[in-house]
Structure 1
Amino acid sequence: MRSEQETARAIERYSDTVRRLCAVHLKNDADTEDIFQTVFLKYVLSSVSFENDEHEKAWFIRVTINACKDLLRSFFRSHTVSLDEALERPAALPPDYRDVWDAVFSLPQKYRDVVYLHYFEDYTAPQISRILGKNVNTVYTLLTRSKQMLREKLGGEYDYE
């Protein structure tokens, strides 16, 4: 862990660089502040020893860019309703779908995620693959298995295509 003096020096030297990089990548003041704090927290907790000032600056740039990319990759999560919240709003569902909804939410998590994203949010398997960080063929397999589980739970009376 770094000392308070080292941290203050780093903030003084690299705060403008970190903020500018965040602004370019994120275009959002609130997210910029979040990443700014994340980067300097990583610095404080880091045990990396730097060869020189250029090495230290390069470290800040790389960590900032990676943190921005991580935030942008997870961006969809902050703009969607969680499955738990959606479950608490069943009135928005037509009554015919209530038993389907209940069956979907009784599936194990890995199946529930792909079914929800595919059938309720209209994502394709390749899109789901990118969102969940799974292989496309794995997503297809999970969808196939979940359809079979749903047929068993619902008595085969629904068409899931």
Structure 2
Amino acid sequence: MRSEQDTIRVIERYSDTVRRLCAVHLKNDADTEDIFQTVFLKYVLSSVSFENEEHEKAWFIRVTINACKDLLKSFFHRHTVSLDDVIEHPAELSPDYQDVWEAVISLPQKYRDVVYLHYFEDYTAPQISRILGKNVNTIYTLLTRSKQMLRERLGGGYDYE
């Protein structure tokens, strides 16, 4: 593991380069921050020794590009839509379902995620369990509880199956 001084030194030296590379590849501030942290964490945990500053800079560039590519080709990144994007574009939903959507986004986060993935993205409970890293039975329980909450909020007139 690297020393604190060494870590501070490389962050000061390469942070702009890493951020710019991430911004070019990802075009997303949140993903850029994730990869930024990943790159410097890899550095802190690595035991690679560098021949010179040029070798060190090349290492940061290669690790950053590879991390960006890994994120972009990941299953989760390719098969999801941000809830923020959907919330910002509610007009795309049918007016008949606007009240349902508002009830869904008012659910607590753990219920909102499973409802969104199941009913809006058509994932099965086993797929959701892999995406969220939870037991499949937990997903079934969250779906059942969220349907009950939605029935209470919407007056029971909707079929969620």
* Distance apart, 1:87 and its partner CA: 1.1
Quickly say closer, same or farther: Cα 1:135–1:99, change in 2 above 3 A. Answer: same
Residues 99-135 of structure 1, C-alpha deviations (whole Å, 9 max, x = no match): 0000000100000000000001100000000000000
Specify whether residues 39 and 105 from structure 1 end up closer, same or farther in structure 2 by C-alpha distance, changes over 3 A only: closer
Aligned to 1:150: 150
Matching residue of 2:77? 77
Matched ranges for 1:104-123 at <5 A: 104-123=104-123
Q: How does 1:119-130 map to 2 (within 5 A)?
A: 119-130=119-130
RMSD of the TM alignment (CA)? 3.6
- TM (normalized to structure 2)? 0.59
Runs of 5+ consecutive residues of structure 1 not aligned to the other structure: 8-29, 51-63
How many equivalent pairs are there?
A: 120
Q: Could you say which structure has the larger radius of gyration?
A: 1
* Cα displacement (A) at 1:49: 6.5
Q: Please give the alpha-carbon distance, in whole angstroms, between the structure 2 residues aligned to 1:152 and 1:40.
A: 46
Q: Alignment identity in percent?
A: 68
Cα displacement (A) at 1:3: 5.1
CA distance in 2: counterparts of 1:120 and 1:133, whole angstroms = 19
> Helix, strand or coil for the counterpart of 1:134?
coil
2:44 counterpart of 1:45: yes
1:37-60 CA deviation, whole Å, 9 max, x = no partner?
A: 8786345423x779xxxxxxxxxx
Contact 2:128–2:139 (CA<8 Å) still a contact in 1? yes
The runs of 5 or more residues in structure 2 that have no matched partner are: 11-24, 27-31, 49-62
Q: What TM-score, normalized to structure 1? A: 0.59
